[in-house]
């Protein structure tokens, strides 16, 4: 493999390091667009674009942290898991006030055998 750089002051090891990061950068842009709305936001003001782009890339980083600490295999699995938790919490809020107290964590974390 031959790698070229227009920066004549950079060390060869840095050229290899930067090139090896290229694919991870492309994956981060793909995830930000596909899962976290990078290409969907409708703002045109400088601050709005800045905030939307930063939020999308923050979500890419945060979801990677969540994936490494969970059983989810993909961002879609992760999103489905947290959507399910949200729906379960909202459904439990609809129970009448005079019912027996329910421990939400026990109900949500229960695994069906």
* 18 lies in the same domain as 36: yes
Is residue 5 domain-resident? no
CA atoms within 13 A on the CB side of 26: 6
> Is 50 exceeded by the pLDDT of residue 113?
no
Is residue 2 domain-resident? no
What pLDDT sits at residue 91?
87
Give the tens place of pLDDT for each residue, 69-89: 888 889 999 999 899 989 988
Q: Which residue range(s) make up the domain with 36? A: 11-69
* 80 lies in the same domain as 65: no
* 65 lies in the same domain as 106: no
Give the tens place of pLDDT for each residue, 18-68: 888 999 999 999 999 999 988 888 888 999 899 999 999 999 999 999 998
**Nearest-CA neighbor of 84 among 58, 65, 110?**
110
Is residue 33 domain-resident? yes
What pLDDT sits at residue 99?
66
Is residue 52 domain-resident? yes
Is residue 28 domain-resident? yes
**Nearest-CA neighbor of 81 among 72, 90, 89?**
72
> Is 70 exceeded by the pLDDT of residue 110?
no
> Is 60 exceeded by the pLDDT of residue 111?
no
pTM for this model (two decimals): 0.63
* 16 lies in the same domain as 50: yes
**DSSP class of 92:** H
């Amino acid at each position: 493999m031959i790698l070229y750089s227009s920066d004549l002051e950079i060390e060869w090891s840095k050229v290899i390091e930067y090139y090896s990061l290229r694919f991870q950068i492309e994956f981060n842009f793909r995830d930000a667009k596909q899962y976290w709305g990078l290409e969907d936001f409708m703002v045109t003001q400088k601050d709005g674009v800045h905030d939307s782009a930063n939020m999308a890339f923050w979500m890419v980083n945060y979801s990677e942290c969540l994936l490494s600490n969970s059983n989810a295999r993909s961002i879609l699995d992760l999103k489905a898991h947290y959507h399910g938790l949200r729906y379960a919490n909202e459904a439990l809020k609809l129970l009448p006030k005079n019912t027996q107290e329910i421990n939400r964590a026990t109900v949500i974390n229960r695994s069906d055998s």
